Amino acid sequence: MLEIQRRRNKYPLLCVAEGTIFFRLFLFLVTGILVPVNCRSLAIVVVPLLMMVFAFFRRYHRLMSVSVALFLFAVGIYTSSRPIPPLPPLGDYTLRVLTSPKPVRDHYTCEAEITDLASRPVLLLHVADDSLICSSYLHVSHLKPYMTRHADYALYLERHRISGIAYVASGQIRQLDHTPALSYRLRHKVIGYYRRCGIDGERLAVLSALTLGERSLLTERTNAAFRTAGVAHVLVVSGMHVGFLFLLVLLAYRHSRYKMQVVLIGMALIWFYAWFTGFSVSVRRAAFMFTVMLLARSSGGEYNPIGSLFLSAFIIVLFNPMAIYDASFQMSYMAVLSILLFMPLFRVSGRNIVLQNVALTISAQILLTPLIIYLFGNFPVWFMLSNLFIALLVPLVFILAPVAFLPFCSWTLWMMCGIVSFISAFPWSQLLVSISFRMLIVSYVLLFLLYDLIASRASARSVIVFLVAVILSSLMLAFA
C-alpha cells in the first residue's frame, strides 16, 4: 500500500490514466477512427471478437486485454469507413429535419434527411426564416443540392456525413405537418412572456439566447461584443447551461436523504431542458455527459469523475464516431477535463465565491486555450475579467428568468450587456495568433507534464529547469 501511495504522489497524471479504464477504451476507439484506413469488411471486427471469446473461456487475462484493445481499434476503423451517400439530383423531395435551425448571418441552417431515397442522404439546408423548418417533415420542390469547392468546408461536411448543401427559397418549402414542434411553440410563448414583463431590445435577445437557446433575436453587434469579450459561450445553450442544472442537482443530492429520488428528478430536469431548448447536438451531448456523471456519483463506492467523463465520451463516440471532429465536442470535454484536473490544485475555500469563480475560470482555460487558438486563430485577451463578472451574473439570470417581471431581472441583464460592451471596447481585446496541429500536440504535452509536476509537489527549481527544456524542445520542433 505504501508503494502504491508513493507512486501516486510521484506520478499523479499516470495514476489518473491507469485508474480510468474508460480512458483506455476511449483511446483505443479514437485511435481506430483517426487512422487513415478505409475498410468495410466485417472480418476486421469479427477476428478480434473471436479472440475475446476465446480469451474469456480460457481465462487468458493478457490476451483478453489485447483482444479488447484490438476490437475497439477495429470498430473505430469500421465505423469511420462508412460511405457517404451520393449527392441527389435536381428534383422534388420529402425531407425530415434532423437538427434545430441555427441563425447564420441573415438566414438559418439545419440538417435534413431525404426520406424518398434509399441511401437517405443528409443535406445542410439554408433558408430565410426559421419558421419554415420548425416542422418535422418538409416537401421541397426543385431541390438542387451541390457540394462546396472549398477544401476545408468540404472536409467538414464529409466528417459530419453531409452529402451536400442546398439553398431553399420560401416558395419551395411546404410543411407536411403544419403544427410546429411543441418545444418550438413553448420557447416562443416564453419569449412572449418576457416581452410582457417589459424586457425588450438587446436584453430580450440575450435572455432568450441564454435561457432558451433562441438566437434569432441577437444582432451582429451583440454577437461581436460577446465574442470579443470572450463570453460568446453563454449565448449558446451548451455544457455550461446544463452544467448549471447539474450543480443544482448535486447541491440537492448532498443535502437530501432521498438520494435516488433526487437523481431521478435531476435526470428528468436535465433532459427536459435539453428537449425544451431544441435538442441540439451540443446540448444532447452535455445532457448525456452529466447524466452519466450523475449516475456514477449515485451508484455507490468510490466516485471517479474523470472515469465517468471518459465513459460518456466513449459511448458518444461509439455511436457517433464523427463526433470527435466536432469543435463543440472537443471544447466541452476539454473544458470539463481541465476543471477536474486543475481546479483541485488551487485549494480555494468553498466559502469564497469570488476566488472559486477565478479558480474555475483559470482551470477551465488552461487546456482550452490551445484548442481555441488552433480552431479559431484568435484569443480573447480580457476573457478572465469578463468571465469573472459574467459567471456570477449567469446563475442570477437563470434563477430570475421565471420571475422576469421583477425589476431586478432587467437590471441584471442591463448590467451583463453593459459589462460585455465595456470590456469588448478595451484595446488589444483579441490576439490574432494561430498554431499548427503539431504545436497543439506539443502544447498539450507541456501542459500535462506541468500538471504532473505541480500535483507531485516537485521542487521549484526542477519545475523551472524542466519547463525550459520542454519549451526549447517545442521551439526546435516548431522550426524544424
The partner residues of 431 in beta bridges, in order of sequence, read 379
Written as nine digits, the cell of 227 is 465574442
Q: Determine the 3-state secondary structure of 125 from DSSP.
A: strand
Written as nine digits, the cell of 65 is 486485454
75 exposure class (CB count in 10 Å sphere: 0-12, 13-18, 19+): buried
Written as nine digits, the cell of 184 is 418550438
Strand pairing of 430-432 and 378-380? antiparallel
Find the angle CA(356)-CA(423)-CA(415) to the nearest 5 degrees. Answer: 75
The partner residues of 173 in beta bridges, in order of sequence, read 140
Q: Determine the 3-state secondary structure of 217 from DSSP.
A: coil
Nearest to 21 by CA among 58, 69, 59: 69
Instruction: Write the CA distances from 143 to 87, 95, 158, 397, 448, integer angstroms.
Output: 11, 11, 20, 43, 50
Please report the DSSP string for 87-119 in residue order: PP-SEEEEEEE-S--EEETTEEEEEEEESSSTT
- Contact between 433 and 378 under an 8 Å Cβ cutoff? The reply is yes
CA dihedral 340, 342, 344, 348 (to 10 degrees): -120
Query: How far is residue 377's CA from residue 398's CA, in Å, rounded to a whole number?
Result: 32
Please measure the distance between the N-terminal and C-terminal CA atoms of the chain and give it in whole angstroms: 45
Cell 484568435, located at residue:
378
Q: Which residues contact 138 (CB under 8 A, 6 or more apart)?
A: 94, 95, 97, 112, 132, 173, 174, 175, 176
Strand pairing of 430-432 and 164-167? unpaired
Nearest to 80 by CA among 326, 314, 322, 281: 322
Nearest to 339 by CA among 368, 297, 310, 373: 368
- Contact between 324 and 434 under an 8 Å Cβ cutoff? The reply is no
Burial code (b: 16+ CB inside 10 Å, e: under 16) for 210-242 equals: bbbbbbbbbeeebbebbbbbbbebbbbbbbbbb
- Chain Cα centroid distance, residue 55: 37
**125 φ/ψ angles, rounded to the nearest 5 degrees:** -85, 140
Written as nine digits, the cell of 299 is 451508484
Cell 441563425, located at residue:
103
Query: How far is residue 279's CA from residue 71's CA, in Å, rounded to a whole number?
Result: 32
Longest CA span, the chain: 74
Burial code (b: 16+ CB inside 10 Å, e: under 16) for 282-296 equals: bbbbbbbbbbbbbeb
Written as nine digits, the cell of 11 is 506520478
Per-residue pLDDT of the chain (480 residues), as tens digits, is 444 445 445 545 544 554 467 888 888 898 888 887 777 777 788 888 888 888 888 888 888 888 888 898 988 888 887 788 888 888 888 888 887 777 777 778 888 888 888 888 888 888 876 655 566 788 888 888 877 778 777 878 887 888 888 888 877 877 776 566 677 788 888 888 888 888 888 888 888 888 887 877 888 888 888 888 888 878 877 777 787 788 788 888 877 778 888 888 888 888 898 888 877 767 777 788 788 778 777 776 556 778 778 888 888 888 888 888 888 788 888 888 888 888 888 776 666 666 777 787 788 888 888 888 888 877 777 777 887 788 778 878 887 777 766 677 788 888 888 888 888 888 877 777 777 887 888 788 878 877 877 776 655 655 666 666 666 666 655 555
- Contact between 184 and 101 under an 8 Å Cβ cutoff? The reply is no
Sign (positive or negative) of CA dihedral 232, 444, 26, 247: negative
